[in-house]
Amino acid sequence: MKEKVKPKTLPGFMELLPNEQILFNKMKEIIQKTYEKYGFLPLDTPIIEDANVLLAKAGGETEKQIYRFEKGENDLALRFDLTVPLAKYVTEYYDKLSFPFKRYQIGKVYRGEKPQRGRYREFYQCDVDIIGDGKLSIINDAEIPAIIYHTFQNLGFDDFTICINNRKLLNGIFLSMQLEKESTEILRVIDKIDKIGVEEVKHELQKQIDIEKVETMMKFIAIDGNNAQKIQALEELNISNEVFQEGLEELKQLLKFITIFGVPENYFQIDLTIARGLDYYTGTVYETFLNSYRELGSVCSGGRYDNLAEYYTDRKMPGVGISIGLSRLFYQLMEHKIISADNQSISDVLIVSMTNHYEMCADIARKLRDEDFNVQINIEEQKLGKKLKYADHLNVKYVIIIGEDEVKNNVVTLKDMVTGEQKTAPFEEAIKLIKGIDE
């Protein structure tokens, strides 16, 4: 016999206890069903891809984090997001797809980051994207917040805000001030506004650009009020630049249709300070915040991009999409006790046998399953106390106990694990109680 190996899960890899896993899976399923309600098609691409295909676009930080290795003569890598595999997919199967191509993908991705609390090396992303062939209507951008709204509603949240911006506004301002080249650096500074405040942003910007341009920038950033007031203020900036006007027009269209798609007014707002994905997004951007837990950061982000697959094809494929980082979100919600897995259960009923006449247990299990209940059976040789503890641990609502007397009299003892009530009755009567049918 070899020496025992100490079994351990790698740091940075989420592994849940069963009750946590039940809750996690429920959330995953809710996200999936909501995505499907909006007509997104499922996709499931390989976790391993050819490294050259996967890294066609990557560079810098991403490349360092990648799990890359050789097997035989193949240079392989694990996917680090679901967007690159989507780009690969729509290019590879272009002739077999219909556009606009709407797909969701829920799956694990891999990044060899330094493990820290809530940061995982293997984590779930839940993505939807709408990909156009050549062009894609702005109305699609308005449907996305409805998906976010219904997803988080269905997940049980009722107090969150979907923040919306359009990168063309800022880009247009840059263009009008001939600051295109400095834009990335300026955006990087502006992006810190939540952390360092307005004055510090202003201070940092003045190191690099003329004071009157900083003033225009700050006037833009200072825009406040409700959505209508913000739109008005944007119009009053009187920036004639074409890109700016395009962004403004898109934002107005978006606001109009969001409501028609069913998002209540108090769940979304223009937020001109969000400027996600410095290089990637080109138009609309989204971030979503739980209002009582703003410190969690955005729980669902995304935006519009001009050209999904430019590293694979000359075909222009614009898209708009969002991603929920479910593993991290789950960790945060658990950590802040916003959700709890304490009462999660797969089984509705546990049948325990206190005799070695097991036929009745098996028979009742079958009958309850035929009635569509999830049923577990415990016919091990254990004491009743241990079996009830087992039931407690499984969080089942009902335990059916079969002992000698029950077999003899053809009855069952039904224990309600919530109230502690116990009743001995024929099975037909017990099942009515389980079904919640009053007599």
Positions in 299-328 near a second copy (CB under 8 A): 309-314
The residue among 272 and 396 lying less far from a second copy, judged by its C-beta, is 396
Show the site string, 163-202: x = touches a second copy by CB under 8 A, - = not.
Answer: ----------------------------------------
Paired with 41 in beta bridges are: 103
63 binds a second copy (CB under 8 A): no
Distance, in Å, from the CA atom of 254 to the CA atom of 239, rounded to the nearest integer, reads 20
Judged by CB under 8 A, the chain residues 338 through 367 that form the site for a second copy are 346-347, 350, 358-359, 362-363, 365-366
The residue among 6 and 337 lying less far from a second copy, judged by its C-beta, is 6
Span from 94-102, 244-252, 402-410, 431-439 in contact with a second copy (CB under 8 A): 94-102
State the minimum distance, in angstroms, from the CB of residue 391 to a second copy.
9
Show the site string, 22-61: x = touches a second copy by CB under 8 A, - = not.
Answer: x-xx----------xxxxxxxxxxxxxxx-xx--x-----
* Binding test (CB under 8 A) with a second copy, winner from 206, 227, 378, 424: 378
Distance, in Å, from the CA atom of 173 to the CA atom of 122, rounded to the nearest integer, reads 39
Judged by CB under 8 A, the chain residues 383 through 412 that form the site for a second copy are 389-390, 393-394
Sorted by sequence, the CB contacts under 8 Å of residue 233 that are 6+ apart come out as: 223, 224, 225
State the minimum distance, in angstroms, from the CB of residue 311 to a second copy.
6
3-class DSSP assignment, residue 399: strand
* Binding test (CB under 8 A) with a second copy, winner from 81, 227, 261, 273: 261
Judged by CB under 8 A, the chain residues 126 through 145 that form the site for a second copy are 132, 135-137, 139-140, 142-143
Residues in the chain: 439
Distance, in Å, from the CA atom of 354 to the CA atom of 391, rounded to the nearest integer, reads 14
Distance, in Å, from the CA atom of 407 to the CA atom of 417, rounded to the nearest integer, reads 22
Show the site string, 3-22: x = touches a second copy by CB under 8 A, - = not.
Answer: -xxxxxxx--xxxxxx--xx
Sorted by sequence, the CB contacts under 8 Å of residue 381 that are 6+ apart come out as: none
Q: Is 57 exposed, middle or buried (0-12, 13-18, 19+ CB in 10 A)?
A: middle
Distance, in Å, from the CA atom of 78 to the CA atom of 66, rounded to the nearest integer, reads 7
Distance, in Å, from the CA atom of 179 to the CA atom of 213, rounded to the nearest integer, reads 9
Angle (CA) 54-56-59 rounded to 5° is 95
User: Would you say 15 and 327 are in contact if contact means Cβ atoms under 8 Å apart?
Assistant: no
The residue among 70 and 295 lying less far from a second copy, judged by its C-beta, is 70
Angle (CA) 285-77-74 rounded to 5° is 145
* Binding test (CB under 8 A) with a second copy, winner from 27, 58, 80, 103: 103
The residue among 9 and 240 lying less far from a second copy, judged by its C-beta, is 9
State the minimum distance, in angstroms, from the CB of residue 43 to a second copy.
6
Distance, in Å, from the CA atom of 236 to the CA atom of 228, rounded to the nearest integer, reads 12
* Interface size with a second copy, residues (CB under 8 A): 108
Judged by CB under 8 A, the chain residues 66 through 85 that form the site for a second copy are 67, 69-72, 74, 76
